[in-house]
Structure 1
Amino acid sequence: MASQTTPTSLPVRPPLPLASRQSGRYPRPQLVRRDWSDLTGVWAFRHDDDDVGLRAGWAAGFDGTVPIVVPFPPESPASGVGDTAFHPVVWYSRTISAAELAEAGRTTDAPRLLLHFGAVDYRARVWIDGAFVGGHEGGHTPFSFDVTDLLDGDGEHLLVVRAEDDPHDLTQPRGKQDWHEDAHAIWYHRTTGIWQPVWLEAVPDVSIAHLRWLPGDPASVSLGLTLRGVAPAGSRLLVSLLWADGDETLATVETTLSAATDVVDVVVPVTRQRNGQAEDELQWSPEKPRLVDATVTVTTPGGGVDAVASYLGLRTVGVDRGVFRLNDRPYDVRSVLEQGFWPESHLAAPSAEALRDEVELIKQLGFTAVRLHQKVEDPRFLYWADRLGLLVWGEIAATYEFSPRAVQRLTTEWMEAVERDVSHPSVVTWVPFNESWGIQHVPHDARQQAFSRSLADLTRALDPSRPVISNDGWEHSGSDILSVHDYQGDGGILAATFADDAARTRLLTGPGVGGRRVLVGSAVDEGQPVMLTEFGGVTYQPDAVRDDGWGYSVASDGDDWLARIEALYDAVRASQFLAGSCYTQLTDTMQETNGLLTADRRPKMPIERIRRAVTGR
């Protein structure tokens, strides 16, 4: 890569929309192209319980179908199928029309067509007109195929998808999806097959595949650029940063791309931030979620141009001297546990608008953060967290078996999830394990300790800019934050557990809450922040919707429920060492009736009263 130079005029297509001011519908918020074709909607669907479809040639088309609304999983009512029984193999098909091909933006300048899937649970195989396109394993992460040669005409084409999701395979990262046929305890109905958007878009022969924004010192941001295709000699890169609240250009950098690499690192100086007194004007936080718009353009000597819109937030996160720091200032993390499950659509959001509504509700309740629990959430949720101002803890779905296969699967999917979400300013913490799920014997098994510790270190290698929790809740080995789960329902007892430095020492050196040690193996107390990352769980059913609902403690009525929550929060606020907390949980979810909201997102008491209990004001 040559040295950075003064920018020259580059040919670009008409102006791109500002990425930070989207409607929230585009499936990939930080790499936006103007033209794309949405392939969600009604598809044809069929179960394949005997797994005969491959041998019977269903890849070229199949009958006996029922309609399904994609991207809602077939277990959900919103899909139109609503069958929660065991169905380990399912098939989908739909016709791609000439109009949809045109809508994708295919031109002589953008001749290549990409087929994108947001997420298919768990293993996917894809065909077009009977020709195999490719496959992907991992139920929470995106994948794409170049389908140019298979969509070379203007007529209709048949798209077929096979999804395999074995409910009894405990090496699959599955999170809260139940391996029993009927949901039990803290697990929910399964989500099989397509559950995030599917779309087409056209790109040039050399195109931008991935952007990785990482804020550096207060006056710069690092861009990692991954290309699809090899940039010929003489190709150029232009990066422009624009203040999202106006038309002020913050930085413009142009450089030559090397033909020998498809990954480019560029340091973009943010001129306005060189004045230390002006840094706060651009920094992102939940209170002031300022975003910077970006345009990234790649040109090739033959006239090829790929221009994409993106955005970023200038902020730093870290831990130091027992506190969590945002923009180098102590920040009290007030979080809520989010299962991301809807009665009508399960892990898929019922609409793009529902994702914005979720972020807004969390903020209205008085929280500054959300812990996405056992799920890699739709990127459009992260977009609204970025735009509206909400800290996010990113977590992966757990396996429930420790074996070489489980290690490989979890590691691969976690790496893909981190890379997908690394540029979102709202994401401030990574959580690869929860409550020793999948590493149940980590207190005494050196192999499981090594896996927990190494996955935390691998996460830091992929992203050194954020703290990592090796195993949320207990039994930490290599955590930047020591998190504890405690569902004690008595506020006075909870206050004593987390009172002062002496209580901190007892907590970290003793048997731990419920007998679960906080530190295992060679891990020691290095002064890390301590957070209470699951507590509460108080059940209250204002409408008595179900008689089998449960929580960790039970309130007699709405006033009692609020009094219990306030007493628990009083204990958290009184602690001399807690650096943050996470209340369980945002919504009732199936048989769990311990939410602040009902399953259909209605506050159980007036929202201002819940907010007062949470915030203390």
Structure 2
Amino acid sequence: MNDSSALRASRLSVARPRPQLLRERWSTLDGTWRFAHDDAEVGEREGWYGSAHRLDGSITVPYPPESPASGVGDGGFHDVVWYQRDVPWQAVLEAGFHPSRPRIHLHFGAVDYRSRVWVNGKLVGSHEGGHTPFSFDITDAIVEGIAQHITVRAEDRADDVEQPRGKQDWLEEPHVIWYHRTTGIWQTVWLEATPEVFVEQVHFTPQLSRGTVEYELRLNRPPAPGTSCRIELVHGEETIAELSTQLVSQRHTGTITVPRLQNGQDREGILWSPASPQLVDAAVIVENDGHPIDTVYSYLGLRTVSIRDGQLLLNDLPCYLRSVLSQGFWPQSHLAAPHPDALREEVELILALGFNSARVHQKIEDPAFLYWADRQGLLLWAEAPAAYRFSSTAVERLTHEWLAALDRDRSHPSIVTWVPLNESWGIQDVAHDPAQRAFARALVQLTRAIDPSRPVISNDGWEHLESDIFSVHDYDHDPATVRARYRGPEGLAALRNGIGPAGRTMVLTDSLREDAPFMLTEFGGIELRAGRGNGAGDSWGYSSANTVEQFEKQLRDLYDALRSSTVLVGTCYTQLTDTMQEANGLLTEDRKPKLPLAVIRAIVTGTN
């Protein structure tokens, strides 16, 4: 990494689809694919995956077919869809295919919900889970020197409420707080070549008090005798740590000593925080008998998150969260970002509005959003998309997908809280059903087992079990009531021991930690009716303002009421943007502020 030409994962001008595990070469398959709905579900029987079959429609990947950006724009019920593309041999070579890298992998960022993939008519794999990445080694299916025929069948049952779906509507037309469905491919598709033995995943967990970084390295298979690994950590142009170790198993863990962290007077300049989002580049080089086999590039942020005495601590210092709820939805592209710079611009806009945090709601967000949050210092709450029915099938599906999300995202420094469940969605009877309680608790404990370095909320909003943060959802629009409810310890005690603003019991057991930070994680939701024209009758908010002046006053009064609290250590405003008929954003769905940006920032931050 001292080589000036080495790839620096923390310095990308455009985010890559897997930003914390990069190789030098890759090639994107985004763009125009052939496409067809399969409402009669005859495609497999008729051999649509074969090289001789040609689908008669087209779609722009990675936009879902319900979205205008896809070129299809059909929001009706289509449970099964097919994609085809003939990938030129040059794209395989551009991905790094070479005698030293003889395995070629086909990657999908996300395909909702169930998929089967063929290459040149040969089935290469299947996957279930609509928000998490997967890949297949397609080496044995390719034919060298010619175009490769890739076919994808995606299945997303509109009425299957046991699958994690988040805000995707089960009705044909969006209603209330639910939006258009996202079927099929909605994140980048790409190719990558690797050696026979390669790095499959790498994780980093800083331990600031020990002056170390713990790492986890996973190979695709057990290494040959004599295999070793070198890890280099670089901050700016300074190598701050190096380690060499033998690899004797497929999964390897260890500890890297960072001398500068051990000097308490010298470490601040390399720590990650919203005010100074310093990133450390990492190079991981796997070697055999001194010869490099595989090199991957990653990055990490040296920071810790903890809870003590009712405070959320970042690097051992109290951190008050000024958060906003983000749906991650665009009118032209739905859950997919509309263009490569959109997610960077979204992070920049959230910060410009005065927020230091975003709660990504009912969506496992595109890794590019996490990358720019890491780069620019935006704190994130990561939340699972919910199923709507409780069953053993729903338990299995959500658990599987949540584990995949933790594996993908737990090295991102911007993520400071995990939220596996929200508002009892999918566990509607948790107050009475022992099985639903057991599931909520199990998700918390499972999350802590995988990642003990962050707080976990068992059920954001109400009906808490083993949450590390006591979070409340409250859409009361009367500032006087809000001020009284959150003013001091009496209000906090009343909520912990009683019924919340939404009429739900706030805490179901005595397992909520006594020193849990108290946060209002949904409030506001004011709809500005002025300027919406005749379409305003189809929109709604939790409260409304008829003029821009009234909107500003209601927003300012709510924030002033909450700032008077002596017990709250964080808030989250609903929401960042209008999202279809839910028109209660600070911005329009096209990301235009409803008030001057400087005015919103002053209200959010409490400055003049």
Query: TM-score if structure 1 supplies the norm length?
Result: 0.96
Name the CA distance, whole Å, in 2 between partners of 1:64 and 1:240: 48
1:274 Cα offset (Å): 1.2
Name the CA distance, whole Å, in 2 between partners of 1:15 and 1:517: 58
Name the CA distance, whole Å, in 2 between partners of 1:198 and 1:525: 43
SS of residue paired to 1:352: coil
Q: Which amino acid aligns with 2:255?
A: V
1:525 and 1:128, CA in 2 relative to 1: closer, same or farther beyond 3 A? closer
The answer on whether the counterparts of 1:537 and 1:584 sit within 8 Å (CA) in structure 2 is yes
2:436 is aligned with 1:439? no
Structure-2 residue corresponding to 1:232 = 224
SS of residue paired to 1:325: strand
Structure-1 residue corresponding to 2:157 = 166
The answer on whether the counterparts of 1:16 and 1:309 sit within 8 Å (CA) in structure 2 is no
Structure-2 residue corresponding to 1:98 = 89
Match of 1:477 among 453, 462, 465: 465
- Give CA-to-partner distance per residue, 1:191-215, whole Å, 9 cap, x none: 0000000100111111111111111
Name the CA distance, whole Å, in 2 between partners of 1:467 and 1:505: 21
Q: Which amino acid aligns with 1:490?
A: D
Pairing of 1:33-112 with structure 2 (within 5 A): 33-61=23-51, 62-112=53-103
- Give CA-to-partner distance per residue, 1:51-96, whole Å, 9 cap, x none: 1111111111433521100000000000000000000000000011
Name the CA distance, whole Å, in 2 between partners of 1:550 and 1:146: 47
The answer on whether the counterparts of 2:325 and 2:358 sit within 8 Å (CA) in structure 1 is yes
1:22 Cα offset (Å): 0.5
1:514 Cα offset (Å): 2.4
1:512 Cα offset (Å): 1.7
2:606 is aligned with 1:616? yes
SS of residue paired to 2:502: helix
Structure-2 residue corresponding to 1:4 = none
The answer on whether the counterparts of 2:285 and 2:292 sit within 8 Å (CA) in structure 1 is no
1:526 Cα offset (Å): 1.5
Name the CA distance, whole Å, in 1 between partners of 2:3 and 2:265: 38
Q: Which runs of no fewer than 5 residues in structure 2 stay unpaired?
A: none
The answer on whether the counterparts of 2:62 and 2:186 sit within 8 Å (CA) in structure 1 is yes
Structure-2 residue corresponding to 1:504 = 492
Q: Which amino acid aligns with 2:227?
A: S
Pairing of 1:289-438 with structure 2 (within 5 A): 289-301=277-289, 303-438=291-426
Name the CA distance, whole Å, in 2 between partners of 1:15 and 1:525: 49
Name the CA distance, whole Å, in 1 between partners of 2:323 and 2:330: 20
Structure-2 residue corresponding to 1:462 = 450
Name the CA distance, whole Å, in 2 between partners of 1:368 and 1:152: 50
1:112 Cα offset (Å): 0.8
The answer on whether the counterparts of 2:467 and 2:513 sit within 8 Å (CA) in structure 1 is no
The answer on whether the counterparts of 1:16 and 1:33 sit within 8 Å (CA) in structure 2 is no
The answer on whether the counterparts of 1:542 and 1:557 sit within 8 Å (CA) in structure 2 is yes
Pairing of 1:580-599 with structure 2 (within 5 A): 580-599=570-589
Structure-2 residue corresponding to 1:285 = 273
Name the CA distance, whole Å, in 2 between partners of 1:437 and 1:118: 25
- Give CA-to-partner distance per residue, 1:110-141, whole Å, 9 cap, x none: 11111110000000100001100000000000
1:272 Cα offset (Å): 1.1
Name the CA distance, whole Å, in 1 between partners of 2:195 and 2:55: 39
Name the CA distance, whole Å, in 1 between partners of 2:95 and 2:257: 34
Name the CA distance, whole Å, in 2 between partners of 1:573 and 1:87: 48
Pairing of 1:561-580 with structure 2 (within 5 A): 561-580=551-570
Name the CA distance, whole Å, in 1 between partners of 2:44 and 2:296: 38
Name the CA distance, whole Å, in 1 between partners of 2:355 and 2:85: 42
- Give CA-to-partner distance per residue, 1:421-450, whole Å, 9 cap, x none: 000000000000000000000111111111
Q: Which amino acid aligns with 2:146?
A: G
Name the CA distance, whole Å, in 2 between partners of 1:257 and 1:63: 47
The answer on whether the counterparts of 1:508 and 1:525 sit within 8 Å (CA) in structure 2 is no
Q: Which amino acid aligns with 1:435?
A: E
SS of residue paired to 1:580: strand
The answer on whether the counterparts of 2:273 and 2:377 sit within 8 Å (CA) in structure 1 is yes
Pairing of 1:240-259 with structure 2 (within 5 A): 240-243=232-235, 246-258=236-248
1:398 Cα offset (Å): 0.1
The answer on whether the counterparts of 1:376 and 1:417 sit within 8 Å (CA) in structure 2 is yes
Runs of 4+ deviating beyond 6 Å: none
Structure-2 residue corresponding to 1:201 = 192
Name the CA distance, whole Å, in 1 between partners of 2:313 and 2:208: 15
1:527 Cα offset (Å): 2.5
Name the CA distance, whole Å, in 1 between partners of 2:510 and 2:105: 47
Structure-2 residue corresponding to 1:3 = none
Name the CA distance, whole Å, in 2 between partners of 1:312 and 1:303: 26
1:13 and 1:169, CA in 2 relative to 1: closer, same or farther beyond 3 A? farther
1:318 Cα offset (Å): 1.2
1:151 and 1:15, CA in 2 relative to 1: closer, same or farther beyond 3 A? farther
Q: Which amino acid aligns with 2:81?
A: V
The answer on whether the counterparts of 2:578 and 2:589 sit within 8 Å (CA) in structure 1 is yes
Larger displacement relative to structure 2 (146-155 or 393-402): 146-155
Name the CA distance, whole Å, in 1 between partners of 2:24 and 2:406: 26
Structure-2 residue corresponding to 1:151 = 142
2:180 is aligned with 1:189? yes
User: Aligned residue pairs: how many?
Assistant: 603
Q: Which runs of no fewer than 5 residues in structure 1 stay unpaired?
A: 1-9
Structure-2 residue corresponding to 1:490 = 478
Q: Which amino acid aligns with 2:218?
A: T
Structure-2 residue corresponding to 1:128 = 119
Name the CA distance, whole Å, in 2 between partners of 1:13 and 1:205: 26
The answer on whether the counterparts of 1:16 and 1:308 sit within 8 Å (CA) in structure 2 is no
Name the CA distance, whole Å, in 2 between partners of 1:558 and 1:594: 13
1:14 Cα offset (Å): 9.3
Q: Which amino acid aligns with 1:54?
A: E
Q: Which amino acid aligns with 2:57?
A: V
Pairing of 1:11-50 with structure 2 (within 5 A): 15-50=5-40
Name the CA distance, whole Å, in 1 between partners of 2:106 and 2:445: 33
The answer on whether the counterparts of 1:72 and 1:195 sit within 8 Å (CA) in structure 2 is yes
Structure-2 residue corresponding to 1:212 = 203
1:509 Cα offset (Å): 0.8
Name the CA distance, whole Å, in 2 between partners of 1:283 and 1:572: 30
Match of 2:107 among 93, 116, 141: 116
1:523 Cα offset (Å): 3.3
Structure-1 residue corresponding to 2:215 = 223
Larger displacement relative to structure 2 (508-517 or 75-84): 508-517
State the identity %: 53
SS of residue paired to 2:153: strand
Name the CA distance, whole Å, in 2 between partners of 1:376 and 1:16: 31
Name the CA distance, whole Å, in 1 between partners of 2:294 and 2:55: 43
Name the CA distance, whole Å, in 2 between partners of 1:13 and 1:137: 41
The answer on whether the counterparts of 2:468 and 2:513 sit within 8 Å (CA) in structure 1 is no
The answer on whether the counterparts of 2:26 and 2:95 sit within 8 Å (CA) in structure 1 is yes
Query: TM-score if structure 2 supplies the norm length?
Result: 0.97
Name the CA distance, whole Å, in 1 between partners of 2:544 and 2:350: 23
